[in-house]
Chains A and B, each alone.
Chain A
């Protein structure tokens, strides 16, 4: 009996000390991490705004895959587009994508934010140049969602990470349709 007590108490003590150490480190790092995450979103907003002013922020409607809506306004303060924070599914699970559209649903720019894609393959989608292939699609021309809808150089750039691509493309296409349904309001 005493033997079991000793084993249990030792293990509990080790766990308690470890938990305390983690709590202390978390205390120091948590504010910095939160500030960094906020900065990432702010940077992405400015990057995708395409020169428009970022207007009001609206909460999510009853849509599982649209998390936040920001309006884009021109100098005369009328709505000329939207930035959506979208949620899609990639190879590593959930991905957060920020995409901006003109009011008729054409993609201005997009960024892949939080994701769990494979480093070196799907993760490459985080680079701004990855989103070039979606620009200006969505209104007259549909958003490319399959590999054979891309030009050869673009198709090569997604090889090895087709699941990531199709996840991003479908999410961006969905956002485009969503913007169209807003009708410029």
Chain B
């Protein structure tokens, strides 16, 4: 039993990574990953919404009539997204500004609806919570990885949170002057996504033998 729990928690990180393996939530993945801080902010927001939507969907799984389950999930998810949006706007305006339109779009992020439909409405609250953490962390790692590659090679910088005298931007000497600009544009995001997907396919195929 303990092993099963562990699997539920960890599979989202690599084995069933929502972005690279399940191919869910690609829109925000490609959209916000121009700076590392956006990836981290988006990842954190998705973890928050995913945890609460999974818990509530699991709690209400016997209450929600089957015929209206999708609208009910959307209402639950939309409520949490709006809460995240308001709280971020009030307490972390910089990240709120950077995420822009992608924040409200978490409502239709397939990872969240996908996990509600595929996992939370059939499993216990604890399992749903663990699944949300695993999938959320997997998403956070994936978007941060893409953002890191795109920002380092596309603009020659790494943008993190500004703290005190540190303005949050690390410049990488050579790449800052000669960036591979396509990587920071939309086409570069698709190209990079393709290469990373191919890499993960290759890695998992090799593991299977």
Residues of A within 8 A of B (CB): 3, 6-7, 10-11, 14-15, 18-19, 21-22, 25-26, 28-30, 32-33, 36, 92, 116-121, 123, 126, 159-160
The DSSP consensus for interface residues of chain B is: helix
For B64, the closest partner residue in chain A by CB is A10
Q: Which B residues touch A15, using CB under 8 A?
A: 75
Q: Which B residues touch A6, using CB under 8 A?
A: 65
Which of B12-20, B82-90, B130-138 faces chain A? B82-90
Complexed CA–CA distance, A29 and B91 (Å): 8
Complexed CA–CA distance, A21 and B52 (Å): 13
Q: Which A residues touch B91, using CB under 8 A?
A: 29, 32
Tell me the minimal C-beta distance from B143 to chain A in angstroms: 13
Q: Which A residues touch B93, using CB under 8 A?
A: 36
Which of B1-9, B95-103, B109-117, B197-205 faces chain A? B95-103
Q: Which B residues touch A7, using CB under 8 A?
A: 65, 67-68
Q: Which A residues touch B86, using CB under 8 A?
A: 22, 25-26, 29-30, 33
Q: Which B residues touch A10, using CB under 8 A?
A: 63-65, 68, 72
Q: Which B residues touch A118, using CB under 8 A?
A: 31, 100
Task: Check B60–A14 contact: CB distance below 8 A.
Answer: yes
| Interface residue B34 (Cβ < 8 Å from any Cβ of A) | yes
For A115, the closest partner residue in chain B by CB is B100
Complexed CA–CA distance, A119 and B76 (Å): 27
For A114, the closest partner residue in chain B by CB is B97
Given contacts A18-B78, A25-B86, A36-B93, contact A11 B72 (CB under 8 A): yes
Task: Check A36–B76 contact: CB distance below 8 A.
Answer: no
Q: Which 4 A-B pairs have the closest CB atoms?
A: A120-B34, A18-B79, A29-B90, A32-B90
Q: Which B residues touch A36, using CB under 8 A?
A: 89-90, 93
List 9 A-B pairs, Cβ < 8 Å. A7-B68, A14-B76, A18-B78, A22-B83, A25-B83, A29-B87, A119-B99, A119-B102, A120-B35
Complexed CA–CA distance, A22 and B79 (Å): 7
Task: Check A119–B98 contact: CB distance below 8 A.
Answer: yes
Task: Check B101–A116 contact: CB distance below 8 A.
Answer: yes
Q: In the complex, which range does the number of interface residues on chain B fall in?
A: 20 to 34
Q: Which A residues touch B89, using CB under 8 A?
A: 29, 33, 36
| Interface residue B71 (Cβ < 8 Å from any Cβ of A) | yes
Tell me the minimal C-beta distance from A162 to chain B in angstroms: 12
| Interface residue B55 (Cβ < 8 Å from any Cβ of A) | no
Q: Which A residues touch B100, using CB under 8 A?
A: 92, 116-119, 123
Known A10-B72, A33-B90, A160-B185; further 9 A-B contacts with Cβ < 8 A? A7-B67, A10-B64, A29-B90, A118-B31, A118-B100, A119-B31, A119-B34, A120-B38, A160-B184
Tell me the minimal C-beta distance from A11 to chain B in angstroms: 5
Tell me the minimal C-beta distance from B190 to chain A in angstroms: 15
Tell me the minimal C-beta distance from A4 to chain B in angstroms: 9
Interface flags for B23-57 (1: CB within 8 Å of A; 0: not) read 00000000110110010000000000000000000
Tell me the minimal C-beta distance from B178 to chain A in angstroms: 12
For B79, the closest partner residue in chain A by CB is A18
| Interface residue B181 (Cβ < 8 Å from any Cβ of A) | yes
For A32, the closest partner residue in chain B by CB is B90
Task: Check B60–A92 contact: CB distance below 8 A.
Answer: no
